[in-house]
Amino acid sequence: EDKVVQSPLSLVVHEGDTVTLNCSYEVTNFRSLLWYKQEKKAPTFLFMLTSSGIEKKSGRLSSILDKKELFSILNITATQTGDSAVYLCALNAGGTSYGKLTFGQGTILTVHP
Amino acid sequence: SAVISQKPSRDICQRGTSLTIQCQVDSQVTMMFWYRQQPGQSLTLIATANQGSEATYESGFVIDKFPISRPNLTFSTLTVSNMSPEDSSIYLCSVVVGVNSPLHFGNGTRLTVT
């Protein structure tokens, strides 16, 4: 059974800090790993990773995948209060539809002013 | 990515009743999905809404409880039937626009069953 484990489960930092969120996974047939930010109800797409070692970057956020060690990290630099959210890691396994994702428990990030 | 609109945004319902959630996409999409997020839990796929045929349900979800319609490539509904407090969740419509594209979510429906 495919599995996604995120750590830490919660994190409290101050504005300006840099954070690293972790996602480890087990899967029989890997297709992609995705990161989402969830504020209130709707998850917002951040990154989709398919290849090892290639960093994806968007502003202060970046993410990388290690398919050998079966993990991914999401980095946020110079955090702001608007970064406070739940960050979800999700796995799409080959052989299933592109919409069938296995989600981790999420990391609750709180950024204090 | 597509713009995905869900309604209602939230509702409070009595046990034993049913609620239908609507999902409208601003472009035609082949793949449309319904997810549930129970309080304090992560997201779980309920079913794939197939246009022109019956929905494909995941283990633990059945058509009698969660009937789904998909009359065309831009619209779908999910009904939560004979509700109990355990159905209190966020229900999310989601789509994949194309092959190798990520899943995008609608704004969600927060359902509370009393």
With beta carbons less than 8 A apart as the criterion, state whether A11 and A109 touch: yes
Q: What does the pLDDT look like over A13-32, one tens digit per residue?
A: 999 999 999 999 999 899 99
Q: CB–CB of A41 and B31 under 8 A?
A: no
Distance in Å, alpha carbon of B16 to nearest chain A alpha carbon = 25
Label residue B7 exposed, middle or buried (CB < 10 Å: 0-12, 13-18, 19+): middle
Q: Within the 45-84 window of chain A, which residues sit less than 8 Å (CB to CB) from chain B?
A: 45, 48
Residue B62 half-sphere exposure toward CB, CA atoms < 13 A: 4
Query: Does the structure show a pLDDT above 80 at B21?
Result: yes
DSSP annotation of A40: S
Q: CB–CB of B32 and A99 under 8 A?
A: yes
Gyration radius (Cα) of chain B, Å: 13
pLDDT at B99: 80
- Residues in B whose CB is inside 8 Å of some CB of A read 1, 31-33, 41-45, 48, 58, 90, 92, 94-96, 99-110
CA dist B70 and B19 (Å) reads 16
Secondary structure class of B86 (helix, strand, coil): helix
Q: What does the pLDDT look like over A59-107, one tens digit per residue?
A: 999 999 999 999 999 999 999 999 999 999 999 998 778 899 999 999 9
Measured CA to CA in angstroms, residue B75 lies from A15, B1, B30, B53 at distances of 41, 16, 11, 14
